[in-house]
A and B are shown apart, each in its own frame.
Chain A
Amino acid sequence: MIPLLSLTGLTVARAGVPVLREAALQLFPRDRLAIVGPNGAGKTTLLRTIVGLEPVAAGRLVLFGQPCTTERDFRPLRPRIGFLFQDSDDQLFCPTVLEDVCFGPLNCGLSPAEAEARARETLDALGIGHLEGRVTHRLSGGEKRLVCLAGLLAMRPEVLLLDEPTNGVDAANGARLRTALAAFEGAMILVSHDEGFVAEIATRAMLIAGGRLSEAEIHVHPHMHVHPHLHPKA
């Protein structure tokens, strides 16, 4: 089976200091790979490198069977990879939700009418069709994250890269996010501190520390579980 993404001996340095050291990883169709590690371990850098936003110092990066080194190599492949940023405000830039979700399909060459139809369909599938006329700037954190995801899914990507997708998302929108990701049929790489979320979504895991990637195992074990809840007074 040909991997969708393949990294071999990939090293990325910033100002001479390596932030990713000889990373190796392969992602196959339907893989849901979780990358777990402390802050500053190189998780976001890894995702940015995969889509060609970080210059590679050494190693080999192959996307969909094609070796990628220059911007020209990455450009035609980017619509096949959806990258959900850690901060939704870095991703939303159009005045309204519908316009923002249309942006990707328009870049892929769809006509405005086709792009709008695609955007509506995607928003409905995520259960946020009612947001289409809203101003992106005034959405809640959870709504913003879902709209960003809709903007990516509208391009029908084969791979999703998710950078801390549950950060700053409330419970109701978090549930929508989980449902949408569980229904996504492509492969994904998931960077998250949310262990419950990782256990629920991921099928494989890798650890990252000090810029080094290593294989890990997900295992589930029962816990005596106590946590506080807030309920209205009867």
Chain B
Amino acid sequence: MSDLRLRLIGALAVLIALSQLHRVEVALAALVLLLVGVTALRPGRDLWHRLLHVEGFVLILVLLLPLTVPGRPVAHVAGLAITAEGLVRAGLIACKVTSAALVLLAAFGRVEPIRLGAALHALGVPEALVRIFVLALRYLGLIRDEAGRLVDAMRLRGFRPGLNRHSWTSYGNLIGMLLLRALARAGRIEEAMRLRGFSGRFPHAALAPAVLSDKMALAALIAAALILTLVDRL
């Protein structure tokens, strides 16, 4: 789908369907289908790399849920019971989260933030939210670079992180300084925007109307989402 507005609606429909799944086997089937589909689209390595970041969080859930969800114990680790219900819940959530991340990464991973902003605006998302989204993406890289250079400078002055008061104070100062700089930068950017005639509204160009093939693809996507929900509930 080349039309970002329709892509947003389609992705949202699939995400809603995924989030409502109850059965682990259906969630697993959805994940496998998505993996096959996304691989067929031949995405770049960055997609898999980003997915790996998400899996880090999933791993924590998978490790904790079997120990914390009450139910029928199947094994014991260090005095804690691993429950069957916990294992099922962990599997379900892992499948859902991975599937949702795959949908988002495949649909929007390579899209320019400014185009995504324009599409969100065209769909009626409030101007302020769109602006926060677009500017945050634009400046995140700069702030990350700034943090990297500060950490380099700290290392050069002999800083070695440890579990002591000096380390915590130093990290506190680092975070405080980054916030302060970000705030000052935001002020300067706003002034520069005002000087170029900004009055609170981004001039978004009107988007071309959606083409028929995109509309049909959207209909197919929504149908797939509905079928997924039906299979889960029947």
Contact = CB atoms under 8 A, between A and B. Distances in A.
Interface in A134-154: 137, 151-152
B174 A93 contact: yes
Interface string B177-214: 10011001000000000000000000000000000000
Contact of A78 (B146, B150, B158, B166): B158
B153 A95 contact: no
B149 interface: yes
A169 interface: no
Which of B154, B155, B176, B181 has the most chain A CB atoms closer than 10 A to its own CB? B155
A interface, how many residues as a size bin? 20 to 34
Contacts of B177: 92-95, 137
B158 A107 contact: yes
Given A90-B149, A90-B150, A79 B157 contact: yes
B interface, how many residues as a size bin? 20 to 34
A145 to B, nearest CB: 13
A222 to B, nearest CB: 40
Contacts of B157: 78-79, 103-104, 107, 151-152, 155
Contacts of B180: 137
Interface string A75-91: 10011010101010111
Contacts, number: 63
B152 interface: yes
Contacts of B150: 90-91, 93
Identify whether the interface residues of B are mostly helix, strand, loop, or mixed. helix
B170 interface: yes
Interface string B132-172: 00000000000000100110111111111000001000100
Given A85-B149, A155-B158, 11 more contacts: A75-B158, A75-B160, A83-B153, A89-B181, A90-B149, A93-B153, A93-B174, A103-B159, A107-B157, A107-B166, A155-B157
13 contacts: A51-B156, A53-B156, A83-B156, A85-B153, A89-B181, A90-B150, A90-B153, A93-B173, A95-B176, A103-B159, A104-B157, A107-B159, A107-B166
Interface of A: 51, 53, 75, 78-79, 81, 83, 85, 87, 89-95, 99, 103-104, 106-108, 137, 151-152, 155
